[in-house]
């Protein structure tokens, strides 16, 4: 028998938007509805991978998470018009929830992660770490190629580039305590292993999951709507003021800041100058909300900036004394360089930028 949840009273679609910390605009309202419908239409194929507690056996079956979604105003099977939004959970999914075969996500922590790779790694590693709770080993291992498929990101051929790709996310998870450390292992020239060790935050999440009764902890993982009492940071206020100067209303600018990635807004404030739109303010708002592709001329300039930045980085490394070059090579092998070395590299980088601006090789962006 299926089970339904009311999505109209205490858990309305607007409430879901607030819980996910996105604005409850009509566009997001429609997106949530489409997401519910897509989940209903998505099938899961289990070949002995799903354990049915009541039947005490591993299941080989194709099933869905939802049996049906009916929105307010639509007709039910008995010709009655639905007065609320109804979500019918599939039997196997419901059995899994009732048996507590779940690993909740700390949504506040997930939202706090700045790197997209860190966010996805948190979801992937959290499930695997939960499987370690009764084992001696307190680490898990992934092949780089496999991890790229799961994230998903395009794999690199060289380990130095692979580390540049994943280590910002790895470092954020380490610095926030979800993992205690990570290590790369060059087991072959074409593929490598990455080891992750449990951090204090992951251990604490596992302890909370082991306490039965998810109903008493729902708010802990998916917080309810809160009053907007938080102030914007100085950086965010600066971006809001820039949007207002571009004829975006203050209310709209603040809503964009609340519901979109800050880096995305920063990029579009620059990228809008490469657009031929008559109403740049309207174009800018829609581009941010719908995550449009950046103008090609802007992307070309960004690629050129990245190329120059890479030249500066290589030149800075070439100018290091032999002692620091050895420290740099050892740090790369370990996947981590010392803070002091980073300071030395930054000094060299500034020295090169100053020289190249003076020679006209690059432009001083502060003078534009």
| Residue 246 pLDDT exceeds 80 | yes
d(CA 280, CA 278): 6
Least confident of 191-205, 228-242, 276-290: 228-242
Cα 272 versus chain centre, distance: 25
Q: Per the structure block, which two tokens stand in for 43?
A: 């099938």
| Residue ranges of domains in the chain, CATH in brackets | 3-98 (no CATH), 107-221 (1.10.10.10), 234-289 (no CATH), 296-367 (no CATH)
3-class state of residue 86 by DSSP: strand
Average pLDDT over residues 243-253: 85
Q: Per the structure block, which two tokens stand in for 198?
A: 């449990």
Average pLDDT over residues 194-221: 69
CB atoms within 10 A of CB 360: 7
Contact yes or no for 213/221 (Cβ under 8 A): no
Contacts of 176 (CB under 8 A, 6+ apart): 109, 112, 113, 201
Q: Give the position of tokens 């056996």.
A: 57
Contact yes or no for 224/148 (Cβ under 8 A): no
Which one, of 255, 253, 260, 259, lies nearest residue 238 by Cα?
253
Q: Is residue 160 exposed (0-12), middle (13-18) or buried (19+ Cβ within 10 Å)?
A: exposed
Which has more confidence, 109 or 208?
109
316 pLDDT band, cuts 50/70/90, is: confident
pLDDT value of residue 195: 95
Average pLDDT over residues 265-272: 92
Which has more confidence, 20 or 240?
240
Average pLDDT over residues 82-107: 75
Q: Per the structure block, which two tokens stand in for 296?
A: 């090609």
Average pLDDT over residues 161-171: 94
Contacts of 140 (CB under 8 A, 6+ apart): 125, 128, 129, 132, 195, 196
pLDDT value of residue 302: 86
Which one, of 226, 169, 177, lies nearest residue 203 by Cα?
177
pLDDT value of residue 222: 46
| Residue 131 pLDDT exceeds 80 | no
d(CA 21, CA 108): 10
Mean pLDDT score of the chain? 80
Q: Are strands 139-143 and 86-89 parallel, antiparallel or unpaired?
A: unpaired
Maximum Cα–Cα distance for the chain, whole Å? 81
| pLDDT above 90 as % of the chain | 21
Q: Per the structure block, which two tokens stand in for 304?
A: 């050129």
Contact yes or no for 42/64 (Cβ under 8 A): yes
| Residue 190 pLDDT exceeds 80 | no
The CA distances from residue 268 to 14, 144, 251, 276, 365, in Å, are: 27, 32, 18, 14, 17
| Residue 10 pLDDT exceeds 70 | no
215 pLDDT band, cuts 50/70/90, is: very low
């Amino acid at each position: 028998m299926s089970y339904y949840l009311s999505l109209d009273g205490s858990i309305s679609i607007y409430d879901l938007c607030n819980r996910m910390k996105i604005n409850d605009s009509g566009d997001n309202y429609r997106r949530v509805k489409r997401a519910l419908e897509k989940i209903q239409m998505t099938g899961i194929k289990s070949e002995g991978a799903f354990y049915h507690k009541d039947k005490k056996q591993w299941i080989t079956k194709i099933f869905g998470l939802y049996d049906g979604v009916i929105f307010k105003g639509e007709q039910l099977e008995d010709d009655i018009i639905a007065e609320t939004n109804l979500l019918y959970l599939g039997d196997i999914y419901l059995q899994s929830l009732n048996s507590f075969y779940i690993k909740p996500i700390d949504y506040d922590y997930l939202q706090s992660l700045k790197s997209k790779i860190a966010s996805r790694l948190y979801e992937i590693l959290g499930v695997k770490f939960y499987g370690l709770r009764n084992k001696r080993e307190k680490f898990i291992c992934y092949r780089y190629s496999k991890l790229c498929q799961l994230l998903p990101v395009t794999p690199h051929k060289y380990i130095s580039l692979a580390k540049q790709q994943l280590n910002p996310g790895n470092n954020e998870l380490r610095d926030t305590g979800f993992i205690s450390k990570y290590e790369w292992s060059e087991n072959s020239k074409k593929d490598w292993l990455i080891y992750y060790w449990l951090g204090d935050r992951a251990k604490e999440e596992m302890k909370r999951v082991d306490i039965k009764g998810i109903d008493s902890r729902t708010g802990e993982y998916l917080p309810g709507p809160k009053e907007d009492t938080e102030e914007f940071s100085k950086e965010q206020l600066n971006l809001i003021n820039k949007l207002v100067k571009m004829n975006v209303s203050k209310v709209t600018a603040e809503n964009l800041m609340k519901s979109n990635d800050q880096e995305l807004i920063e990029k579009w404030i620059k990228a809008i100058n490469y657009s031929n739109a008559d109403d740049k303010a309207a174009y800018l708002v829609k581009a941010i909300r719908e995550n449009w592709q950046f103008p090609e001329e802007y992307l070309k300039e960004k690629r050129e900036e990245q190329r120059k930045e890479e030249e500066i980085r290589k030149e800075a490394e070439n100018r290091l004394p032999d002692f620091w070059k050895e420290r740099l090579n050892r740090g790369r092998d370990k996947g981590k360089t010392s803070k002091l070395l980073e300071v030395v590299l930054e000094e060299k980088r500034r020295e090169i930028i100053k020289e190249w601006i003076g020679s006209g090789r690059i432009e001083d962006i502060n003078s534009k």
